[in-house]
Structure 1
Amino acid sequence: MEWVKDLLQSTPELALFLCLAVGFGIGRVKVWKLSLGGVAGTLIVAILVGMVGGITLNSQVQNIAFALFIFTLGYMSGPSFFASLNRRSLRYGVFTAVEVVTVLAVTAAATLLLGLDQGTAAGLMAGGATESAVVGTATDAIGRLPLSDDRIATLQANVGTAYSISYICGLITIVLLTSQFAPMLMGVNLRDEAAKLWRKLGGGAGDETAAPALPGLVGRAHRVSTAAGSRIRDVEAGLGEGATVERLRRDGETVAMSPDTALEAGDVLLLVGRRDALIDAERSVGPEVAPQTGMDLELDAVDVVVHNTEYMPATVAQLRERIPPRQRHGVFLAGITRMDHALPVRPATEVHNGDTVRLTGVKSDLASFAPKVGFRIDRGVKADFVFIALGVIVGMLIGKLTLTVGTVPLSLGTGGGCLLSGMVFGWLRARNPRFGQYDPAAASVVKDLGLATFICAVGLSSGPQAVALIGDYGFALPVAGVLMTLLPASISLFVAWKVMRLPAPLALGSVAGQQCSTPAITAIQQAAGNTTPLMAYTVVYALSNVVLPLLGPVVVAMAGALG
């Protein structure tokens, strides 16, 4: 196999894509409810490939990949982060605070007891907190230490190795704790509690679905008999919020109508609405008939970035009260997405500026209503590269700023600078969505590919030192990794359940959010049977996703001071 070694050493870009392919393949494999995910899978494969020795990626590739990842992370988090800075949402900040204080305390204790170096301490914290971004900010901070190049390379390699060990332990711990052990300790049936909360939010007894679905919009043609003499507005009021009259045919001709148009016997109405709202239309309007020529009507679906300080933040029910019925005529809310997570579409669900809502209805109604809510996403534009590139440039420049406190130089580095600029640029985009479009799907690809490429570079350089590091600490690192996850999660669970008295789904969602753990919230939702845990998860996730990456330089400095 010497030729394989020579090939990878001479063509490191081949090693990169090999690690990505195998790593993401391994990341998909599920054992019970657990899967590593593509990033952790790539790191493990990269460490193994790196053990061959002599395989490294260009440092510029590593820096570019990390800058794109951390900027995109900030861009996606910014609107939700700033929207969460209100009295109601900030109470969830206690979970992020518990996470920060506890992981720093555990890291300090492990550093003193085990004699960890800066790289191992940072990697342990990143993995135990299941926050991959810390690997980048810590590696960046180590690169600025006044040490020899060889020592810096060794410390940076230790970050990746320690992360891979503690991440696996942290992942297993947080998924099992939140989805299995915590409900037993709390003495609740999570599925029953989630169903109860679902009904409290405005869901019906039969609405305990695993995820919010597009509303069952249908179109029905009815010949007016019972409703003869009534006005259009009377018919719509009788059908309720879930249906509208979209077209009127009289004597074979389409008639212009208004809310005050009086109906005559024999008129044919095209009704559009939710299936359940149209069930009684035959009784209140007249018999259903086959659609006639001229009754065809196309429904459309649009995604809108919410930006309206007059109405937001508000629950779905409050929006129905605040927005006049004529303004939202014929428009139906089909979905709410926050930071790439779909929220339950229920009356008590809060909508924030920066959220993306999916609206369905007739094109003309959508065209007039969408601008009142926010800015319609242009599906033909996936990414505004001028805006994105300027954001990365600003972040890199911020990262070069250094403040000297005594004899200690403090700097955000590329990681902190691009995270900060990403948050601000994402917030600016939410405030004025006419520029800076970054389609969520495109952003997700860039974020994942940037992080995976950076992690692969770290793993390849970590390979030669991995065996030595594991030999130095043995089982101490896995145990420390479990404690790094278990302690803050347990404290927060107590605070959520006993102090804040949150419903079980929200308590568990908060714990998963403070860890920024997508596998954990997925397992919780499966156990709960609906998406109610996401309502707390997204708020805490928005806060932790910004704060935790900033701990990388803090841990490096702390471990250096304690070592």
Structure 2
Amino acid sequence: MLWTLLKAQPEIALFASLAIGFFIGSFKLGPIQLGGVCGTLIVALILGQSGARISPDLKNIAFALFIFALGFTGGPQFFANVGRGWRYGILSLVEVVVVVALVLLSVRLLRLDPGTAAGLLAGGATESAVIGTASEAIGRLGLPAAEIARLQANIVTAYSVSYLFGLVTIVLFSSQFAPLILRVNLRDEAERVWRKLGGDGALSEGQTLAAPPLAGRELKVTAGAGQSIGDLEKRFGNNISVQRVLRDRSVIKAQPSVILKANDRVMVGGRREAIVEALPAIGEEVFGGGVSDVYVEKVDVMLTARALHGLTLAQARARAAPGEGRGVFVAAVTRLDSTIPALPGTQLHRGDVLTLVGNKEDVARGASKLGYIIRATQKTDFVYLGLGVIAGIAIGRFSARVGGIDITLGTGGGCLLAGLLFGWIRSRYPLIGSLPSAAAQILKDFGLCTFIAAVGLSAGADALRLIREFGVALPLAGIVITLGPALASLFIGRMLLKLEVPMLLGAIAGQQCSTPAISALVGVTGNATPVIGYTITYAISNVLLPLLGPLVVGLASKLG
């Protein structure tokens, strides 16, 4: 009865796959969590035994929206990191070269068909988007419809098997085995790097600081009498700012030229450690309005200033004219939806979102020098979105013949490149192309999982056949394809590129596009230093790996 209902109304099978799949994917076993995509695929493979099928048009539309949104959100970071983040970018190239070589070796040894080879690539590299680009490539091989359906089914089956083992492998390797190989205590290394960047203590994921990194104090001037506000702020590296002066019940505007007098009451804001250091040089603390009077404005700013790319926060503040940077503090740095430490030694990249705090006038001045303020909005520019997807479909129609192999980007590859371009344009001209982060996340999550559910339902009948045919070979191949690039990057990153261990391991998690791996790393290190390396390789690999789908299909069709 249930099977008949699902076949008659496949939309029920679709949403059941999403609901049950995300429920299964939410459970964690130690650091391992399947996630909604893999959970949806497993449920769809089971429900696919009913014969429920989703329209190919819906599947293609869902994937186009997902891949465009993926490129759109990553565009500013991708272009920022391709040139100047070259040390980490090399690791993404290592991932591409090694994973393709291992997949092709598996094709020769196991005599794999193009679909199974592409599924191994997607699962071993833990990159779900490869399923879509490879499925499109198989559809263009000119084979009978039944054979195309079989090969496309093999993609998702090989992916589901190899992904499970690849996920466990990269999580355990990056957080447990790699530190043993390097003979380092990962937590101690992360704390050392944290302090090197200017932090004054470790911060674990999910924890909050006992005291905020930015603070405000009201002081009665004693030792600071006779000093100008500008000299006092400069003495402490402009990491403090006098925001208000109360003298004889009159409020004086806190200009750098103002000379402090004994018994003035001043409100001082800035980095907590700098304020603690400055207290004896200014006066005695008194109870007053507190931090809320100092930080009345808080805005998110997209960093577009080319001159600041690659500089640390400390260097950016040092280069700013005294009047430009005064009273403006960076409370947080967000890169690709990940929060990285806002420490003096943290490097800035174009496309970062900086959370600025201070009084309204100071923040507005600082934002104008850094980039543009991200206005809170719930509206999506559907004109821009529609034109972007159309451009992606047009780009995907171009093809090239390389070494006797026809390679066409297809809708997936075309929309990915269009998303990168349109996202970059949006970062340069913020008045057009609004796509709020929540809306973009919905497009990515719903688009990908709808596509995954559709292909899983279609592949359900062939899944058991492929597993019986190859047995343990698929899981073992998945482990090797995951482990090979990770080991190569560990050696190259440490011995040749001299990367710090926490950032290196974060970069290895990023080159695999593995969110569970970076979550496990942050838990082991006790602070967010691995995220710095993760965001760079994640931005680059998220673009390069999906583009490998057509390449592997073409090569496997020649070799297999």
Q: What interval of TM-score do these two structures reach, taking the shorter chain for normalisation?
A: over 0.9
Q: Is the 8 A contact 2:299 2:357 kept in 1?
A: yes
Choose which of 151, 154, 162 in structure 2 pairs with 1:155: 151
1:73 aligns with 2:103: no
Choose which of 162, 186, 189 in structure 2 pairs with 1:193: 189
Instruction: Provide the secondary structure at the position in 2 that maps to 1:485.
Output: helix
Match of 2:9 in 1: 11
Give the whole-Å Cα distance in 1 for the aligned partners of 2:362 and 2:497: 43
1:256 aligns with 2:253: yes
Runs of 5+ unmatched residues, structure 2: none
Runs of 5+ unmatched residues, structure 1: none
Match of 1:25 in 2: 23
Give the whole-Å Cα distance in 2 for the aligned partners of 1:452 and 1:76: 18
1:121 aligns with 2:144: no
- Residues 422-441 of structure 1 aligned to structure 2 (within 5 Å): 422-441=419-438
Q: Is the 8 A contact 1:305 1:433 kept in 2?
A: no
1:105 aligns with 2:106: no
Match of 2:179 in 1: 183
User: Identity rate of aligned residues, in percent?
Assistant: 50
Match of 1:350 in 2: 347
Give the whole-Å Cα distance in 2 for the aligned partners of 1:155 and 1:514: 27
Match of 2:87 in 1: 91
Letter of the structure 2 residue corresponding to residue 437 of structure 1: S
Instruction: Provide the secondary structure at the position in 1 that maps to 2:423.
Output: helix
Choose which of 324, 327, 343 in structure 2 pairs with 1:327: 324
Instruction: Provide the secondary structure at the position in 1 that maps to 2:85.
Output: helix
Give the whole-Å Cα distance in 1 for the aligned partners of 2:288 and 2:93: 60
1:496 aligns with 2:493: yes
Q: Which moved more, 1:256-265 or 1:158-167?
A: 256-265
- Residues 67-466 of structure 1 aligned to structure 2 (within 5 Å): 67-86=64-83, 88-204=84-200, 206-207=201-202, 209-210=204-205, 215-237=212-234, 241-279=238-276, 283-291=280-288, 299-381=296-378, 383-403=380-400, 409-466=406-463
Q: Which moved more, 1:122-131 or 1:109-118?
A: 109-118
Cα offset, 1:406, TM superposition: 9.2
Q: Is the 8 A contact 2:115 2:154 kept in 1?
A: yes
Q: Is the 8 A contact 2:204 2:523 kept in 1?
A: no
Q: Is the 8 A contact 1:212 1:335 kept in 2?
A: no
Instruction: Provide the secondary structure at the position in 1 that maps to 2:32.
Output: coil
Q: Is the 8 A contact 1:516 1:545 kept in 2?
A: yes
Cα offset, 1:191, TM superposition: 1.0
Instruction: Provide the secondary structure at the position in 2 that maps to 1:278.
Output: helix
- TM-score normalized by the length of structure 1: 0.93
Cα offset, 1:49, TM superposition: 0.9
Give the whole-Å Cα distance in 2 for the aligned partners of 1:484 and 1:280: 52
Letter of the structure 2 residue corresponding to residue 512 of structure 1: A
CA 1:433–1:558: 2 relative to 1, 3 Å: same
Instruction: Provide the secondary structure at the position in 2 that maps to 1:366.
Output: helix
Q: Is the 8 A contact 1:512 1:521 kept in 2?
A: yes
Letter of the structure 2 residue corresponding to residue 246 of structure 1: Q
Give the whole-Å Cα distance in 2 for the aligned partners of 1:425 and 1:545: 16
Cα offset, 1:274, TM superposition: 3.3
Letter of the structure 2 residue corresponding to residue 157 of structure 1: A
Q: Is the 8 A contact 2:351 2:427 kept in 1?
A: yes
Q: Is the 8 A contact 1:353 1:430 kept in 2?
A: no
Q: Which moved more, 1:503-512 or 1:417-426?
A: 503-512
Give the whole-Å Cα distance in 2 for the aligned partners of 1:491 and 1:225: 60
Q: Which moved more, 1:187-196 or 1:166-175?
A: 187-196
Question: Which whole-Å deviations, capped at 9, do the CAs of 1:129-186 have from their partners, x for residues lacking one?
Answer: 1111100100111112211222211111111111000000100111111111111122
Give the whole-Å Cα distance in 1 for the aligned partners of 2:293 and 2:508: 50
CA 1:296–1:384: 2 relative to 1, 3 Å: same
Cα offset, 1:239, TM superposition: 5.6
Question: How many residues are paired up?
Answer: 557
Question: Which whole-Å deviations, capped at 9, do the CAs of 1:524-558 have from their partners, x for residues lacking one?
Answer: 22112222222222222222111110110011111
Give the whole-Å Cα distance in 1 for the aligned partners of 2:417 and 2:363: 35
Instruction: Provide the secondary structure at the position in 1 that maps to 2:491.
Output: helix
Instruction: Provide the secondary structure at the position in 2 that maps to 1:219.
Output: strand
